Chain A
Amino acid sequence: ETGVTQSPTHLIKTRGQQVTLRCSSQSGHNTVSWYQQALGQGPQFIFQYYREEENGRGNFPPRFSGLQFPNYSSELNVNALELDDSALYLCASSLEPGRETQYFGPGTRLLVL
């Protein structure tokens, strides 16, 4: 067990809706990264938060946004859902950005109809 939890485990939404996915990092981990894994691909980096500030972003549109809270929890929000947003969303926590081991949660499976 990595000590990183995510909720919900599964979610079904329709096109145009908004969704919030949650992650609880290991205690003391100041960094959380979010990844999207589409079918048949490796996880793709969405963004990273460090001490509650965005610390880097991958090639995802602004309708993907996030928040990190002082209690080591974080959120990934996706507005105006599209069919292609159907994927497994993973969060990973680490002590600091950089050459640190990232500990992954089990993911949230999102299906957009």
Chain B
Amino acid sequence: ILNVEQSPQSLHVQEGDSTNFTCSFPSSNFYALHWYRWETAKSPEALFVMTLNGDEKKKGRISATLNTKEGYSYLYIKGSQPEDSATYLCAPDVDQGGKLIFGQGTELSVKP
């Protein structure tokens, strides 16, 4: 069974703080890594799909890096805002067919 681990499980920060989370996954049979942002009572929102070792992607204040050789990805949020409060999920695709294996997520709470 493929094990995808995200840390920390939860994070509480003040508005303006920068933060980062980790996603660890087995490096064998890797095809892509998906990051999602999921607010309560809404649909998970796609942030990034990353495929190449060394990939860096950015969307506004959120960026992500990928290391496929060692099996990890970092998600960074610069200057957190209350609206960034959500659960952040990573999911590798390990068979090239889009069958995502999700981690448990990191729950971020940003206080004003």
Contact = CB atoms under 8 A, between A and B. Distances in A.
A binds B: yes
A103 B46 contact: yes
Interface in A61-113: 90, 94, 97-107
A44 interface: yes
A106 B42 CA distance: 5
B50 to A, nearest CB: 9
B102 interface: yes
Contact of B97 (A1, A35, A90, A97): A97
Query: For the complex, would chain A's binding face be called helix, strand, loop or mixed by DSSP majority?
Result: loop
Interface residues of B, number: 27
B100 A33 contact: yes
A105 B43 contact: yes
B88 to A, nearest CB: 11
Given A41-B104, A42-B89, A42-B105, A102 B99 contact: no
A16 interface: no
Contacts of A42: 4, 89, 91, 102-105
Contacts of B99: 33, 45, 48, 56, 58
B51 interface: yes
Give the interface centre of A1, A42, A94, A98 by most chain B CB atoms within 10 Å.
A42
B98 A31 contact: yes
Contact of B44 (A44, A45, A90, A97): A90
Contacts of A19: none
Contacts of B46: 101-104
B97 A56 contact: yes
Interface of B: 4, 31-32, 34, 36, 41-46, 49, 51, 89, 91, 93, 95-105
Given A56-B97, A97-B97, A99-B98, 20 more contacts: A33-B99, A33-B100, A42-B89, A45-B99, A45-B100, A48-B98, A99-B31, A99-B32, A99-B49, A99-B51, A100-B49, A102-B34, A102-B46, A102-B100, A103-B43, A104-B44, A105-B43, A106-B42, A106-B43, A107-B43
